[in-house]
Amino acid sequence: MSEPAPLDRATVAGRVGDFPRVAADRPDLKQAAVALCVTERDGAPALVITRRAAGLRAHAGQWALPGGRLDAGEGPVDGALRELHEEIGLDLDRSAVLGLLDDYVTRSGYVMTPVVCWAGPVDGFAGSEPEVAAVYEVPLADLDVDPVFETIPESDAPVIRLPLMGRFVHAPTAAVVHQFVRIACRGELRRVAHYEQPVFAWR
């Protein structure tokens, strides 16, 4: 039996590059981008995940990916790279981008485009105090776990959650991270647009 491919930039780039992305044609909704930013920590790939600041009006204290609404005339790649700079002080150029994953339409009226980029080793982050309480580098191996699904009376679709540090990551972040980790770590084609968000995230 052959050894699995090492989880390095070339492997992840190949898997993301081969992924048949599905875009959401919803120009009526607000457009946003999030960065699935891979760093290298102790020689292993890790994903940058933030904890939202406690003072935010929406989703305070929740796990999140760097990202936000696109500026006028801005595409997902430029928007994700801008948000990496603004939220965590990380400056990457377009050469760091490996590709895009499936759009996720949120209950709050956004089309969220995930942008995968590879930062490599990072000395540190400068979290934006108004938005970010903490920045974490979570090993991809720790995120390659089975999600938890639950049902809610408000929807027929399963609500997805991912365990992380004794808490749960909720959709849309959980859905996007789950898709990325299955692609990056296993080379699986996994669709997640049908997974539901918890009701508190609908607003």
Domain definitions of the chain by residue range? 9-201
Residues 6+ apart with CB under 8 A from 70: 31, 32, 33, 76, 79
- List the pLDDT tens digit at each of the 203 positions of the chain: 344 557 999 999 999 999 999 999 999 999 999 999 999 998 899 999 998 775 555 555 688 999 999 999 999 999 999 999 999 999 999 999 999 999 999 999 999 999 999 999 999 898 777 778 889 999 999 999 999 999 998 989 999 999 988 889 999 999 999 999 999 999 999 999 999 998 887 67
Tell me how far apart the alpha carbons of residues 70 and 13 are, in angstroms, rounded to a whole number.
24
Residue 172 preceded by cis peptide, ω within 30: yes
Give the phi and the psi of residue 170 in degrees, each rounded to 5: -105, 160
pLDDT attached to residue 54:
56
Which residues in 121-180 belong to E strands, given as ranges?
132-139, 148-152, 155-164, 167-170
* CATH superfamily membership of 9-201: Nucleoside Triphosphate Pyrophosphohydrolase (3.90.79.10)
* Spatial contact of 189 and 19, defined as CB atoms under 8 Å apart: yes
Tell me how far apart the alpha carbons of residues 122 and 41 are, in angstroms, rounded to a whole number.
8
